[in-house]
Amino acid sequence: MLSLSVNSPIPNTLVPLKLNPSRPQTRLFSSVSLRKLQVKASSAEVAFKEEEKYSDEGVSPTRGLSEELPPGLSRKAMPKHVAVIMDGNARWARKRGLPSSEGHQAGVQSLRELIELCCKWGIKVLTVFAFSYDNWVRPKVEVDFLMSLEGIRISVIGDSSKLPTNLQKLIRDAEEATRENSNFQLIVAVSYSGKYDIIQACKGIAQKVKEGVVELDDIDETLVEQELETNCTDHPYPDLLIRTSGELRVSNFLLWQLAYTEFFFVQPLWPDFGKDEFVDALTAFQKRQRRYGGRDS
Amino acid sequence: MSSGSTLGVGSALHSFLVFQMEKSNCSRARQILDSLVSFLRKFIFRILSMGPLPNHIAFIMDGNRRYAKKLNLIDGAGHKVGFLAVTSMLKFCYELGVRNVTIYAFSIDNFKRSPEEVQSLMELMQEKIEGLIKDESIVNCYGVRVYFVGNLKLLSEPVRLAAERAMLATAKNSKAVLSICVAYTSTNEIVNAVEESVEEKWNQITVLEASGAGYGLIKLGGIEHHESEPLIKLVDIEKHMYMAVAPDPDIIIRTSGEARLSNFLLWQSAFCYLYSPSVLWPEIGLRHFLWAILNFQRHHSYLNKKGEQLQHLLQDGF
């Protein structure tokens, strides 16, 4: 299922990476070589070429921060935190008679585009929900791509204990290395259960009560919020949730955090979700009136 | 009596009788029409019930005020008309055989509104709650047990008392359940469940210690050979939820086109089908109800598959 073709173990300390456009890109993934990583993955040839293309263009994907927004969108009314349920990879592949790994690969491409758009348009946090481990077909390559984006902070929520140990380490190291970055945060939900998040918050609170740090009377919404796995970000509540492939449900993704989130359900399958669809979602979001139970007037 | 006046009385009586008959013919026609509509509806429901039916439908009744504005009604009238929509939706649900219905009547967030609106909503609620207890009310017709779900301590005294009376009065009904969420938010419900779960565990340990059986069990983590046992489980939290009186909803319908939950049933809606028609709540009708059921039936097999997969995931974790 997972084909992780990493030659040597990743060194303990990863240095945050800055793409230098003037640097001659003679080696594939030469930017990554700064961290002395040896990657032997013939199946990832295609992806490497893609990376080369980015490097050759000499432009960091996150550089154009003041890029003009499409007509009709206002920067002020941009959601701070967008959550996405990336549904439909397998269906997309089936429709084309391709193996499901192709579907997941196409899905990864969609995600990359979305990350870049979010960075450019001032969205601070993006949380993505991957339904199954299958989405991590070539995790090393994806993590490297993410690390190449300037100022991005990577966080992972959910139960990563069932992933292969080297992948777990990869994730931990990436989180550690990018912890101080503040331009943009990507939260990846791996085997995440909204219900379990609340239960583990409850266990954490119970522990604190036992230790005397917290009184029973002190248990309130703020305390629960601080114990949830989304405490890795300053904006734990998504403003907008997008789910692709036409399913009209949340499927045990973030539950507590979606209290006042605007839902946007779209028909296209995840690999077909691109800039146009995202603009539609943002336009619809900006038109909505969010009253939080009160009244406008 | 002279023959003239008898004739006069007679013709007056005759006109009166003719008038009454015409009136009753009108209402008769009305009655026949109503029966026909009702028959057709029940026929459609019978066909629908050949497919999977939802066990629990929840409603977020949005759009009363917008409706009032649209029709230039006075403030507060929208909510009154909205109540009529509630009774017809309840009728459809119980006729179809949906055993559990939940409505989001008043959120804790709604206390933020102007005092006048809050007051008029409280008065309306009290009036309607008292109406529920009457013999001819819809809940008694369909044998519905009523629960008021939420932080009832936040309600004014008369409303809270009326709610408690209604819960008592309908306690013997057992055909169906109506959960009315007042002074409710899901986050408040979850915090309350967390608090009660923690308190329960704390008390258990304290009791063990007091009886001496807990000697050496100072750690809340438990007995040594139970060290690996999680402190608090899914079932502990679920049983302390206000909504433990009903299973999780199968469909949540929010009217007026808004696609958000507004802090309603966040925990319980994990796998639920979300339907947000653009119609305003007072205008909701049979066709929207049918559409929701049909779509539920269409997605049902998908849900079963996914639900099973995720259930296993949950069970492993807990």
User: Is B232 in contact with A206 (Cβ distance < 8 A)?
Assistant: yes
Q: Which of B62, B75, B248, B250 is catalytic?
A: B62
Q: Are residues B231 and A203, on separate chains, in Cβ contact within 8 Å?
A: yes
Distance from CA of B222 to the nearest CA of A (A): 12
Q: What's the CA gap between B300 and A97, in Å, rounded?
A: 26
- CB of A258 within 8 Å of any CB in chain B? yes
Q: Helices A100-120 & A275-287, crossing angle to 10 degrees?
A: 50
Q: Where are the alpha helices (DSSP H) in chain B?
A: 3-48, 64-70, 77-96, 115-133, 138-141, 157-169, 186-210, 234-239, 286-317
Query: Is the residue at A55 inside a domain?
Result: no
Per-residue pLDDT of chain B (318 residues; tens, 9 = 90+): 455 566 666 666 777 777 676 766 778 899 999 999 999 999 999 999 999 999 999 999 999 999 999 999 987 789 889 999 999 999 999 999 999 999 999 999 999 999 998 998 999 999 999 988 887 788 999 999 999 999 999 999 999 999 999 999 999 999 999 999 999 999 999 999 999 999 998 888 778 777 766 544 444 444 443 443 457 889 999 999 999 999 999 999 999 999 999 999 999 999 999 999 999 999 999 999 999 999 999 888 666 665 555 555 555 444
Q: Which residues of chain B make contact with A284, given a CB cutoff of 8 A?
A: none
Closest by CA position to B52, among listed B219, B243, B300: B300
Q: Within a domain: residue A140?
A: yes
Asked if residue A70 belongs to a domain, the reply is no
- Number of domains observed in the structure of chain A: 1
Nearest CB among A202, A248, A259 relative to B186 is that of A259
Decide if A125 is inside a domain. Answer: yes
d(CA B121, CA B131): 15
Distances from the Cα of A60 to the Cα of A57, A114, A243, A276, angstroms: 9, 15, 28, 22
Residue A242 inside a domain? The answer is yes
User: Which chain B residues contact residue A256 at CB under 8 A?
Assistant: 186-187, 190, 266-267
Q: Does the annotation count A87 as an active-site position?
A: yes
Domain with A92 in it: 2-9+75-287
Within-domain flag for A137: yes
**In angstroms, how far apart are the furthest CA atoms of chain A?**
63
Q: Which of A261, A288, A293 sits opposite B107 (nearest CB)?
A: A293
Instruction: Write out residues 241-270 of B within 8 Å (CB-CB) of A.
Output: 258-263, 266-267, 269-270
Residue in chain A closest to B113 (alpha carbons) equals A294
Asked if B312 has any chain A CB less than 8 Å from its own CB, the reply is: no
**Quick one: A207 exposed, middle or buried, by C-beta within 10 A (0-12, 13-18, 19+)?**
middle
Task: Say if A256 is an interface residue toward chain B (CB within 8 Å).
Answer: yes
Give the residue on B whose Cα is nearest the Cα of A253: B270
CB contact under 8 A, B187 and A194: no
DSSP secondary structure letter of residue B73: P
Residue B311 confidence (pLDDT): 57
- The reply to whether ipTM tops 0.85 is no
- Is A173 contained in some domain? yes
pLDDT tens digits, residue range A24-56?
434 333 344 434 443 433 444 444 444 444 444
User: What part of B 116-145 touches A (C-beta under 8 Å)?
Assistant: 117
Which one of A190, A199, A218 would you mutate to disrupt binding with B, by most B Cβ within 10 Å of its Cβ? A199
Find which of B60, B232, B256 to mutate to test the A interface (most A CBs within 10 Å of its CB): B232
Q: Which positions in chain A touch B309 (Cβ < 8 Å)?
A: none
Structural domain includes residue A54: no
Which of A136, A92, A87, A65 lies closest to A241, judged by CA? A87
Q: Does B64 touch chain A (CB under 8 A)?
A: no
Write out pLDDT tens, residues A120-137: 999 999 999 976 655 566
pTM of the model: 0.80
Query: Per the CB < 8 Å rule, is B198 touching A206?
Result: yes
A160 inside 8 A of chain B by CB: no
CATH of residue A184's domain is: 3.40.1180.10
Count of CB contacts below 8 A, A vs B? 146
